[in-house]
Structure 1
Amino acid sequence: MSVLEDPDVLARLRARVDGEVLADAGTRAAYSTDASNFRQVPLAVITPHTTDAAVDAIRACRDLGLPVLSRGGGTSLAGQGTNEAVLIDFSQHCHRLLSVDAENRRCVVEPGIVLDDLNRRLEPTGLRFGPEPATHPNCTLGGMIGNNSCGATAQRTGKVVDNVVSLDVLLYDGTRLTVGPTSDDEYDEIVAGADRRAGIYRDLRRLRDEHLALIRTRYPKIPRRVSGYNLDSLLPEHGFDLAGLLVGSESTLITVLGAELKLVPRVKERTLVVLGFPDITRAADAVPQIVDHEPIALEGVDRFLIHDEQLRGMNKQGLEELPEGTGFLMAQFGGDTQEEADDRAHAMLDALGKSEHDPQVVFYDDPAREDELWQVREAGLGATAHVPHKRDTFEGWEDSAVAPERLGDYLRDLRRLYEDFGYADETGPALYGHFGQGCVHTRIPFDLYSSEGVAAYRRFLERAADLVVSYGGSLSGEHGDGQTRGELLPRMLGEDVVALFEEVKRIFDPDDRMNPGKVVHPAPLDSHLRLGADWAPRQTEALHFAFPHDGGSFGEAANRCVGVGKCRQLKNQDGSVMCPSYQVTREERHSTRGRSRLLFEMLDGHRDGPIKDGWRSEEVKDALDLCLACKGCKSDCPAGVDMATYKAEFLAHHYRHRLRPRADYAMGWLPDLARFVEGAGLAGAVNAATRIRWVRRAATRAAGLEDRRVPRFASPTLQQWWAARDHRPAGTRGSVVLWPDTFTNRFHPEVGRAAVAVLEDAGWTVTMPTEPLCCGLTWISTGQLTTAKRRLRRTVEALAPHVRAGGLVVGLEPSCTSVFRSDARELLPENQDVHRVGDHTVTLAELLTEHTPEWEPPRLDTTSGVAQVHCHQHAVLGWDADAELLHRAGAEVERLDSGCCGLAGNFGFTAGHGEVSRALAEQVLLPRLRDEPADAVVLADGFSCRTQIDELDTTGHHGLHLAQLLAQGLEKHDNHEGAPE
């Protein structure tokens, strides 16, 4: 009986488990799929607080007869991370590094620890865990063990199976074992008993001994075989290693509770050589010669992947640095010194008859430049999904592997197979991967929407399996079998070896309760499809946003997520922002991916989903509640998910003809409220009243807001100051409109006054609207889209004469500026003036660098500090122009990898969000400010960022807008010029 069919079952589970036991529709929807083509809604989700609690959970499931799936980061590409079972998610709580033995290069971890987090903690030892998949910012060690993960670094360190000392595992029947290599003496001691452990060891030894020849001869002798159970780990030469057997078993045999891992020394210095070839098959032909020189990584990239990234606007800097060619090999060499790494790279080039000066060669030993190029390869999965003007692509044959010396011929035949099925054209599919070990990644434009397309998908996989087997290769070279390839294993290994897998399954899990339907007795590869011929999402009401990148379809937008899970990274890297709420909560439904899954399920395309009430869904609303609408995913998500837009669209429909929460009125209508306060001359009285604690508490509670400091209304406003200003010099460069957004105009007019000073110094004639106008941001962020469009139309009408004449609009508040550049186009796509305003709206830095290149900014040589870049600036506007301008001014301002400040417009003010808001500020921003000297500059162009800093930073720092910093420099310069000699 299902958890959902018997209310007593859920209560019994909760009574026995120390952790969250969740069977609500929202949670089940969030876990309904992984990164594969498959969808199976779990019965319930358990997030145990400890590994001992996980033991209790699985024993309780056994007593209730419920199937179990233990999951890592949820990025599995073959369907092994989704099932109609009780799903155990270790990533939220069980993520400790339990011990480190640096001398013996060992560590012990819990299964939920994220790989990048582990390696950060190991940095002081000079060691790291070797295998590193492209999902290293968010994949967990438990998941890596389950899938026998590899990554580019496996060229040097091998697969996970080569890096595990022992495993602490639990069987479905409650038996707990520590397994690893077993000597004959240890074996004799174990089987002397009469318990379950003795029986397992005895049965496995018998199986091995009876089928030694079969096990030795049937497995492909290639570097990347990640298909089937590792029966070869039981061979005498491998020490009868049960841990090796269980690595890669995809939660079908045991649950991993802990692991002792081998560690490797960090590579001290690296050199990257990128080689260009006429095509990718010729690049593959050169692999064996390069492998002889022992690169630490050797990756292949073809022109189709490059083209996809160009269409997506990804990795522009890295793409510009590629050498001549249409197929590329990226060979990385390491050493204790830079000279040693360089020498190894030069030796490889000499052997190929090339030098670093050839046009087909790029040679880098600068880590920053290397990282730019490396991102071109790591972006493969996300870059090849949802490419503009191309058919959608899917997993299915994304990681086959052959011997490296046969790779070129295999790629030629694989391309011909694409052509036979009509999957190949002048734009792809892309071929890339770990060429040094013969592993090929690709996404294919399968038609998974029709019965004919699904049938072709099946035939292709069968033909592809036969092709790779004919090369002595493996169905999977990295991602495992799961449901995609489980059915095809007999083609690769034979029915007799697959029968041995069934015997292993019987030994460990005789009732088939551990991740059933994967690897052994697999479900058909064309069943449980997330799409499929019967997928028919319900028609939605007329949309407010145009969703131009998804054909105007909210269903296609909700289906955009491919499960990479980059939104689940725990620490911001390289200026990334998403997903703030997940970083604090570690809850799947509060990640961009989790919310995408809920929206997909909300459309009820299979009619059996957990969410039945469409736009009125409370589960979807609750999941979106902690979405900060920061827009980080718009730029950071490899698949281009824009959850801020999806949230606004959802809220507009959810509250249609219904009363909204009080906070939506208080914050959504803030521009009108502020205008009323100004018009009634109440700014001083309101400011005084809100400084009285009990008054503030009563007012915020009544408005549905958090009890936090209320921003002070300005008097005079920026527009009032402008109207009263007598001297308005005419510049020589033309006229610009300085946009008086609500936050600058009515709360921080000093920012606007500073901008006027800077713009006039740069030679511009400044104008400013005098009537009350608004970009509609606050209505957009609260989903009041009908009102937002009304305000936008009025604003665009006012700006139209200026932009039609080619004039520029300068935005100071990043969130409002991004409305003009992004949201407005999707809300009013037919209005040409909207597009003109977007095209002619610039940031202050863009105006001063791109449109005033000869202007010399004031010297800020003594200025040092940090910059908190606003999320919308990061996602829509970019910070490159700001960085360039600061560099030209001589300012040493470091951009923080802090992600969102936590306030995010109305989010941090809304009741119930205070804890998350403060936790986000404590991630990086506030600790860093506590370490900065008192006179350090804190650059923060966003009103929200400045407000958060001013309220929560206890060290007295105050956020400055770029305009204020430049204006201060001008003032110092003028004072210096005017000083007597």
Structure 2
Amino acid sequence: MTTLLPAPRVRTARPADVDAQGLAAALRQRIHGGVRFDDGTRALYATDASNYRQVPIGVVVPRTLDDVVATVATCREFGAPLLSRGGGTSLAGECCNVAVVMDFSKHLNAIESIDGQHRRAVVQPGLVLDQLNAATRHHGGLVFGPKPATHSHCTIGGMIGNNSCGSTAQWSGTTAANVERLEILTYGGERMWVGETSDEEYRRILAAGGRRAEIYRAVRDLRDRYAGQIRAFPALPRRISGYNLPALLPEHGMNLAQALVGTESTCVTVLRAQLRLLPEPPKHVLVLMAFPDIAAAADAVPTINRYAPTALEGLDDKLIRYEGEEHMRPEALKLLPEPTNHTGRGAAWLMVDVGADTVEEAKDRVHRMLDELGHDEGKVFDDPEHQAQLWAVREGGLGATARTPGGPDTWPGWEDSAVPPERLGDYLRDFQRLLHRHGYDAASLYGHFGDGCLHTSIPFDLVTAGGVADFRTFVERAADLVSHHGGSYSGEHGDGQARGELLTRMYGPDVVQAFEEFKAIFDPDNRMNPGKVVHANPLDGQLRLGAGYAPAEPATYFRYTEDSGSFARAALRCAGVGACRRPEPDQGVMCPSYQVTGDEEHSTRGRARLLFEMVRGETITGGWREQSVADALDLCLACKGCKRDCPMHVDMATYKAEFLAHHHAGRIRPRSHYSLGWLPAAARLAALAPDLVNAVTHAPVLGAAVKRLGGIDPRRDLPRFAGAGFQRWMRNRTPGGTGERGTVLLWPDTFTTYLSPGIAASAVGALEAVGFRVALPRGPVCCGLTWISTGQLGIARRVLRRTIDALAPWLRAGVPVVGLEPSCTAVFRGDALELLGHDQDALRLRKQTRTLAELLVTDHDIALPELHGDHGGRPHAISQTHCHHHAVLGHDADAELQRRVGLDVEQLASGCCGLAGDFGMTPDHRDVSLAVGEQVLLPAVRAAAPGTIILADGFSCRTQIEEAGTGRHALHLAEVVNAALRGVPAGERPERALSVRPEARAVRS
């Protein structure tokens, strides 16, 4: 199992005419930001969310706008191509190139001003859209209107580059329509603000002379020479393909800023943007309507558009089926109306969002619309919670369709065409016939139907010569089909490489010549993102896969059953959506290290890209020994948040464990792998003399030496081992409970058994009180978690094998296994089967492992007495969900159990606590660990009122809370349930809850 990856076939070279080493050295002397020309960073930025791959010369992470100016000047000096990048989620290949990539997202993300009176804001290009709108809403409900599905992590600069739209563009217009001015920098070094240009302003510019005057004179001359062809551009809401030359026409104010929106970094670098803000409709009503098929749904669009919806989205049955099969948003899917064709196959739905000043006004428009359509079965939602659930269904489209259970992988390439809305139904019928002709029937169809925009991911074969040829043929035929219907090849994602070479088919050679001349005005030497939009690389060139794709297939410890047993396929799972780059933890757990550092290498996507490059063996050549991969994985907290939050269900914790197993094979490991990785064995030994062990580990001199030897942060407290053992207590006590509900096997995990046995005692008391008989496994058992997280997978596999053999009699008798520590419980529900392979007892263990809440609420629906607060009301609690609980087990049953025992719970949107097992216990990780906790969890605990109950089922979470200076003690839900069942008043110390039964005193920690 120590197989190394093979040596590389060929190392990807930098452009021969660029002195990359000299360029990097010059940049390091001239800028304050990051200059990263190492192979690991180059591999990180080699692709975006598209089908294309081009390894950059290097990456610059500018800290200031002066850094940007200096970077452009230095690249000009060395003749290096240049590419500005935002969130890197582009689907057409415009965000990867053999160039110097400038990543604005880490530092250049400020809101420089908000003018509520004049409804405008000035921002830097790295700012995330949701962060902008969170700030502008405080100024009279103003927002920047376009809202792509990536709104939680897309940058304003990226939106400007693509002329992004999203669902709300039907109300607000495209990004171009909402940009007033841009501060730009040309490759030649000219820095200026551009925007609407009156004749008087134009004369002033010419009179001032210089390079700026030359640019404006050339732009106006081009406009006048091509005015007839420009006015003949297709008239439709989503004409994103090509350059936005109509913005230069006199009737549009010769707005150079809007003409540069959508140029995809091929003309200029954007330094700042002045944006138009709009008052957001204060109330929204969402209506869902079912149709027999997607084309029939599109036929209703012109009628619906007469009622001025804020957004009008179409969804087909495949998207809904794929989301259902992947267990994405099951509660939201239940809200959809029944298909009108009775079979569900081929069915479709429209989502119509109507905004207004009042709910009543919006509902009136909705009902008048439904009456005109003759659609009696529309489901109307006026509450924000259900609306948010349904929008999540739509926004999850790309992730849900890219890799489907049991189906072929699907890819972008023709994913955002747009036609006039009144022709959408006919276009869809023709397009479905084209899909069928090529055998691409698995493609799901959905999109922004109100603007005539269609999204789809298509099962192209991109790894054989014949498949690539068919891909090209299909795209060419689809382009002709869109042209026939008067549409645009791109409806919001841009042209990049995917559609750039096709523009002659859409516009004709004269207009494409005008595009080339427009670029040359700003970039005469073709150094700005070359090969994209104009002078474009072939649409089937520089493919990320291609007919020569042959990754290494190394032997692995995990089985990767959802990836056909292939680590290479697992490394390819990331689709580049970038949801892991959300800067704040308010929408899930993923990705805590990125939220702290802001570095691409610390995002789930960045790590997945490095693993992909590692098995490819070109830019990353060290295989399992590659240090750049190890460095990127080092700050992965193994929280498994990506397994749930990533739309592609990337499981970076598993990939990290696999990598560590091979990376350290035959080597001395980090000391913490021995001290903390072997914690279960150490705990069993410590239980022989816990008082002595505690005295040694907490003595000033000896304790410091123990930490140093164990590779543990000297500022961390070592956990204290319990003075009395839980298992001995269980053996010596008289069992309680009637057993009328049967027997359950309580899992004695290391953390609960040896460090927090009072929690186990509380669980026993609660289970017996509601009628269960509680048993423990015989002999030493362990889930292997600490060995898994440190990549000691051979040992973990042996430990798990022994454990499952010990549990086999219970499992074969159908006895539930109740876990208290979420991370250990999650091993049984996930990792165990992946490590052991197809094993009936391991399968039984996965099915029979239950959380306390699942047993009490889901399996037995047990009514429980309620706790009462100081004044008779429901006691307030704040709850920290363990990241593995969120990712693997699910928290709905726990939320219901909290409600049943009478708690008024505030569920913290805090993501991971930051300690994450061994991660936060080591010196190198301390700063990141605490920074993760300080995002939400620790400030919330400090701010909680004295009588507030702090709930945290995870040992790591409780430890982080207690050690970070909060002054609070967190409880496990089992303690609260036991307190409710025993009648202990809320707000009592946990010792009181545990001592209600005299025998519990023996195991208080």
Same fold? TM cut 0.5: yes
Following superposition, the deviation at residue 350 of structure 1 comes to 1.9
Following superposition, the deviation at residue 3 of structure 1 comes to 9.8
Matched ranges for 1:752-831 at <5 A: 752-831=760-839
Following superposition, the deviation at residue 694 of structure 1 comes to 4.2
Q: Label 1:656 to 1:279 Cα distance change in 2 as closer, same or farther (>3 A).
A: same
The answer for the alignment partner of 1:686 in structure 2 is 693
Question: In 2, distance between residues paired with 1:331 and 1:565?
Answer: 27
Are 1:415 and 2:432 matched, yes or no? yes
**Deviation string for 1:579-605 (max 9, x for gaps)?**
00000000000000000000000012x
Are 1:15 and 2:29 matched, yes or no? yes
Following superposition, the deviation at residue 877 of structure 1 comes to 0.4
Q: Among residues 525, 545, 550, which one is paired with 2:539 in the alignment?
A: 525
Following superposition, the deviation at residue 661 of structure 1 comes to 0.9
Q: Among residues 598, 605, 619, which one is paired with 1:610 in the alignment?
A: 619
**Deviation string for 1:240-274 (max 9, x for gaps)?**
11001100000000011110000011221110000
Matched ranges for 1:300-379 at <5 A: 300-325=314-339, 326-355=347-376, 358=377, 361-379=378-396
**Deviation string for 1:371-414 (max 9, x for gaps)?**
11111111000000111110000001100000000000000000
Question: In 2, distance between residues paired with 1:939 and 1:557?
Answer: 35
Matched ranges for 1:619-630 at <5 A: 619-630=628-639
Question: In 1, distance between residues paired with 2:67 and 2:935?
Answer: 28
Q: Among residues 698, 705, 708, which one is paired with 1:698 in the alignment?
A: 705
**Deviation string for 1:76-132 (max 9, x for gaps)?**
000000001100000000000000100010000000000011111222112111000
Higher mean Cα deviation, 236-245 or 650-659? 650-659
Q: Among residues 101, 122, 129, which one is paired with 2:136 in the alignment?
A: 122
The answer for the alignment partner of 1:591 in structure 2 is 603
One-letter amino acid of the structure 2 residue matched with residue 971 of structure 1: R
Question: In 2, distance between residues paired with 1:857 and 1:777?
Answer: 35
Matched ranges for 1:930-945 at <5 A: 930-945=942-957
The answer for the alignment partner of 2:881 in structure 1 is 869
One-letter amino acid of the structure 1 residue matched with residue 661 of structure 2: A
Residues 398 and 440 of structure 1 are in contact (CA less than 8 Å); yes or no, is this contact kept in structure 2?
yes
Matched ranges for 1:259-658 at <5 A: 259-325=273-339, 326-355=347-376, 358=377, 361-424=378-441, 428-540=442-554, 542-574=555-587, 576-604=588-616, 609-658=618-667
What is the SS of the residue equivalent to 1:259? strand
The answer for the alignment partner of 1:845 in structure 2 is 853
Q: Among residues 980, 996, 999, which one is paired with 1:969 in the alignment?
A: 980
Are 1:746 and 2:741 matched, yes or no? no
Question: In 1, distance between residues paired with 2:379 and 2:703?
Answer: 61
**Deviation string for 1:549-599 (max 9, x for gaps)?**
11000000000000000000011234x100000000000000000000000
Q: Among residues 74, 79, 96, which one is paired with 2:110 in the alignment?
A: 96
Residues 314 and 448 of structure 2 are in contact (CA less than 8 Å); yes or no, is this contact kept in structure 1?
yes
Residues 762 and 852 of structure 1 are in contact (CA less than 8 Å); yes or no, is this contact kept in structure 2?
no
The answer for the alignment partner of 2:81 in structure 1 is 67
One-letter amino acid of the structure 2 residue matched with residue 785 of structure 1: L
Structure 1 portions without partners, runs of 5+? none
Residues 544 and 827 of structure 1 are in contact (CA less than 8 Å); yes or no, is this contact kept in structure 2?
yes
Higher mean Cα deviation, 278-287 or 823-832? 823-832
Following superposition, the deviation at residue 678 of structure 1 comes to 1.3
Question: In 2, distance between residues paired with 1:402 and 1:736?
Answer: 61
Question: In 1, distance between residues paired with 2:700 and 2:421?
Answer: 71
Are 1:159 and 2:159 matched, yes or no? no
Question: In 1, distance between residues paired with 2:194 and 2:735?
Answer: 82
Following superposition, the deviation at residue 39 of structure 1 comes to 0.5
Following superposition, the deviation at residue 890 of structure 1 comes to 2.2
**Deviation string for 1:862-900 (max 9, x for gaps)?**
321110000000001001001111222221112110000
The answer for the alignment partner of 2:152 in structure 1 is 137
Aligned residues: 961
Q: Label 1:552 to 1:398 Cα distance change in 2 as closer, same or farther (>3 A).
A: same
The answer for the alignment partner of 2:258 in structure 1 is 244
Residues 323 and 362 of structure 1 are in contact (CA less than 8 Å); yes or no, is this contact kept in structure 2?
yes
Question: In 2, distance between residues paired with 1:891 and 1:7?
Answer: 62
Following superposition, the deviation at residue 334 of structure 1 comes to 1.1
What is the SS of the residue equivalent to 2:940? helix
The answer for the alignment partner of 1:908 in structure 2 is 920
One-letter amino acid of the structure 1 residue matched with residue 125 of structure 2: P
Question: In 2, distance between residues paired with 1:785 and 1:433?
Answer: 44
What is the SS of the residue equivalent to 1:913? helix
Question: In 2, distance between residues paired with 1:385 and 1:857?
Answer: 47
Residues 737 and 770 of structure 2 are in contact (CA less than 8 Å); yes or no, is this contact kept in structure 1?
no
What is the SS of the residue equivalent to 1:273? strand
Residues 230 and 245 of structure 1 are in contact (CA less than 8 Å); yes or no, is this contact kept in structure 2?
yes
What is the SS of the residue equivalent to 1:328? strand
One-letter amino acid of the structure 1 residue matched with residue 788 of structure 2: I
Following superposition, the deviation at residue 613 of structure 1 comes to 1.1
One-letter amino acid of the structure 1 residue matched with residue 165 of structure 2: C
Q: Among residues 146, 150, 163, which one is paired with 1:148 in the alignment?
A: 163
What is the SS of the residue equivalent to 2:415? coil
Question: In 2, distance between residues paired with 1:466 and 1:953?
Answer: 65
Following superposition, the deviation at residue 934 of structure 1 comes to 1.3
The answer for the alignment partner of 2:677 in structure 1 is 668
Residues 92 and 496 of structure 2 are in contact (CA less than 8 Å); yes or no, is this contact kept in structure 1?
yes
Higher mean Cα deviation, 768-777 or 403-412? 768-777
Residues 719 and 770 of structure 1 are in contact (CA less than 8 Å); yes or no, is this contact kept in structure 2?
no
Q: Among residues 211, 214, 218, which one is paired with 1:199 in the alignment?
A: 214
Structure 2 portions without partners, runs of 5+? 1-14, 340-346, 986-991, 997-1005
CA RMSD of aligned residues (A): 1.5
The answer for the alignment partner of 1:183 in structure 2 is 198
**Deviation string for 1:613-634 (max 9, x for gaps)?**
1111111010000000000000
Residues 869 and 940 of structure 1 are in contact (CA less than 8 Å); yes or no, is this contact kept in structure 2?
yes
Question: In 2, distance between residues paired with 1:957 and 1:3?
Answer: 62
Q: Label 1:718 to 1:3 Cα distance change in 2 as closer, same or farther (>3 A).
A: farther
Question: In 2, distance between residues paired with 1:464 and 1:739?
Answer: 58
One-letter amino acid of the structure 1 residue matched with residue 370 of structure 2: L
One-letter amino acid of the structure 2 residue matched with residue 204 of structure 1: V
Are 1:958 and 2:969 matched, yes or no? yes
The answer for the alignment partner of 2:1003 in structure 1 is none
One-letter amino acid of the structure 2 residue matched with residue 573 of structure 1: D
The answer for the alignment partner of 1:924 in structure 2 is 936
Following superposition, the deviation at residue 6 of structure 1 comes to 5.2
Q: Label 1:883 to 1:6 Cα distance change in 2 as closer, same or farther (>3 A).
A: closer
Question: In 2, distance between residues paired with 1:776 and 1:263?
Answer: 54
The answer for the alignment partner of 2:59 in structure 1 is 45
**Deviation string for 1:449-502 (max 9, x for gaps)?**
100000000001100000000000000000000000000000001110000011
Question: In 2, distance between residues paired with 1:3 and 1:382?
Answer: 39
What is the SS of the residue equivalent to 2:687? helix
Residues 449 and 535 of structure 1 are in contact (CA less than 8 Å); yes or no, is this contact kept in structure 2?
yes
Question: In 1, distance between residues paired with 2:41 and 2:774?
Answer: 53
Q: Label 1:480 to 1:756 Cα distance change in 2 as closer, same or farther (>3 A).
A: same
One-letter amino acid of the structure 1 residue matched with residue 706 of structure 2: A
